[in-house]
Amino acid sequence: MNIIKIPFDAGSLGKNKGCAKAPDAILADFPDYSSENNRKGQLKIAEISVNPANFAETHAEIEKKVAEFEEAVILGGDHSITYSAFKGSKCDALIVLDAHPDMMEGTDAVTHEDFLRKLIDDGVLLPQNVFLFGIRAWHNSEMDFISEKKIKFFDMKSIFEFGVNNLCDTLMEMARNFRKLYLSIDIDAVDPAFAPGTGYCEPGGLSSRELVYMVQRLKNLKNLKFVDIVEINPDLDEKEKTLYTAKKILIELY
Ligand SMILES: [Mn+2]
């Protein structure tokens, strides 16, 4: 499995400073325990050199490096990295697990609050090829954008009501026919009780078991080529709960 480390947290606008440490923290002593997935391959690790003072240069690096891969798991970093990683991946559809839509009306630079809106506004990603899963907090302007662009979303209320397994079926049915699929996992999709090590603590999220289940199911999609895991902040973690959630996700992926 190809791993690409992107230790960049400047796109969080200071709100999740420290998540640049996540790639090394996740990979430390990895894997020193076994999991439900007994398949074990080799990890091939690449790192993207980032410049926190220069967003444009960093994003150009991310896009260029990711484009060298046919498939990979990308470790962030804040969620702004998904903008250029998705571009470089040449995927045509995106599933995002996140507490928030990340569709704020933004500034010129790509940030973790607006990367998804920018992907759509910049014509990189068609709105009908986006699937949001796990959202539970949004600004009115974000929901207006979602309605206007008819973006498909599964909010936590419906996930609770209809069940993760049923909605995962629906999601997979919709996602399986794209040419190349990208899955982006913002760790704040998970409830802060299970994953406190992140910038925004948004209650009422997925359990860590539900995230593991989603990953175990989604990895069966033949067109799934890229996965990223972002917004993990080792400095804000408690008893390494968040870090071990990320390690488990990584183990399930290979
Ligand atoms: Mn996010």
Does the pLDDT at position 38 exceed 70? no
Q: What is the pLDDT of residues 180-202, one digit of tens each?
A: 999 999 999 999 999 999 999 99
Provide the number of structural domains found in the chain. Answer: 1
Per-residue confidence (pLDDT) for residue 42, from 0 to 100: 80
Structural domain boundaries enclosing 189: 2-253
Q: What is the pLDDT of residues 105-130, one digit of tens each?
A: 977 899 999 999 999 999 999 999 99
Q: How far is the CA of 12 from the centre of ligand 1 (A)?
A: 10
Measure the CA dihedral 97/99/103/105, to 10°.
-160
Q: How far is the CA of 32 from the centre of ligand 1 (A)?
A: 29
Q: How far is the CA of 102 from the centre of ligand 1 (A)?
A: 6
Task: Say what percent of the chain tops pLDDT 90.
Answer: 91
Residues belonging to the chain: 254
Per-residue confidence (pLDDT) for residue 33, from 0 to 100: 61
Per-residue confidence (pLDDT) for residue 111, from 0 to 100: 95
Confidence tier at 170 by pLDDT (50, 70, 90): very high
Does the pLDDT at position 246 exceed 80? yes
Q: How far is the CA of 78 from the centre of ligand 1 (A)?
A: 8
Does the pLDDT at position 84 exceed 90? yes
Per-residue confidence (pLDDT) for residue 151, from 0 to 100: 98
Does the pLDDT at position 176 exceed 70? yes
Q: How far is the CA of 38 from the centre of ligand 1 (A)?
A: 30
Confidence tier at 34 by pLDDT (50, 70, 90): low
The pTM assigned to this predicted structure is 0.97
Per-residue confidence (pLDDT) for residue 37, from 0 to 100: 65
Distance CA 176, CA 168 (A): 12
CATH of the domain at 34: 3.40.800.10
Provide the mean pLDDT of the chain. 95
Q: How far is the CA of 85 from the centre of ligand 1 (A)?
A: 14
Does the pLDDT at position 10 exceed 70? yes
